[in-house]
Amino acid sequence: MNLLVTGAWQGAKENIEVLEQMGHTVSFLQFEKEKLPCEYNWVEGVICNGLFQSHPIEKFTNLQYIQLTSAGFDRVPMKYVQEHDIEIHNARGVYSIPMAEFAVGGVLQLYKQVSYFYENQKMHKWEKNRGLMELYGKTVCIIGCGSVGTECAKRFQAFGCDVIGVDLFPRKDVNYTKIVTMQKLDMVLSNADIVVLTLPLDEETRYLIDAKRLQLFKSGAILVNISRGAIIDSESLIYALNERIGGAVLDVFEEEPLSENSLLWDMENVIITPHNSFVGEGNRDRLNKIIFNNLY
């Protein structure tokens, strides 16, 4: 297969020889927005992330195979892929562990008021805080019960939480107390102490968490978003953070990078990270395994 491999696969360069030994002819593109090192019609397969955002998929007239380095399909014109019977694989499971650890860690930072102690440490100030909270006994709503959501469920369950999943396709799963349909989302939200978003972005989920749903949140509830920024109505979230909910752990935003003028930056009850929750030292090995298993 004529394979176009991009720098989105961090282990690409060290594995080009392996791909060639498998019988593939490889062309390498470090940055996906740059000009291709080959003709479009040469490419039969790609290993990439957002390649088709800069290079229209229609130009790849002989494309048969796509391996994504991301878990989501939202950067790929899936209608075209399906209409042309192109084989496609994502990186399901590669980033789930660090993302789940990030979600739990973010909530713990807010519950244990880590920023308070950090500031006191800088000032060499010895002062107790009697307002710390426990994860034990809390109700956690995980919206999107795929690989990432389930890794989150495992970890929150280990802290003694009651974990309720909300998904298009409910199932029995030992990692959740129960999984319910999306039709029951509003009911679950009103009882949740912690809400974790791990669902894909599409036309049905865009602004799923809007002003109306934020009003359903319990007073003091924590919202965690490690999926896609546009699932939340940002302006409504800012209002809710001032008036109702206890805090938010936000790793993704509708527009990235987040504007320097965003009010979210200066909110004491908000943790902001630059789309970084997926990072972990085990990712490379997990991704390599998926790529080679799918190519065999």
- Residues with a catalytic annotation lie at 228, 256, 275
- In the chain the first and final C-alpha atoms are separated, in Å, by 12
| Interior/surface letters 223-261, b for 16+ CB within 10 angstroms, e for the rest | bbbbbbbbbbbbebbbbbbeeebbbbbbbbbeeeebeee
Centre a 10 Å sphere on the Cβ of residue 34 and count the other Cβ atoms it contains: 12
Report which DSSP code applies to 172.
-
Report which DSSP code applies to 231.
G
Q: Give kind and range of the element (H or E) at residue 16.
A: helix 12-21
Count of positions (residues) in the chain: 296
**Contact (Cβ atoms closer than 8 angstroms) between residue 217 and residue 139:** no
Sheet strands (E) in 137-294: 139-143, 162-166, 178-180, 194-197, 222-225, 247-250, 270-272
Q: Which is nearest to 217 in space by CA: 197, 240, 198, 199? A: 240
Q: What whole-number distance in Å separates Cα of residue 279 and Cα of residue 1?
A: 30
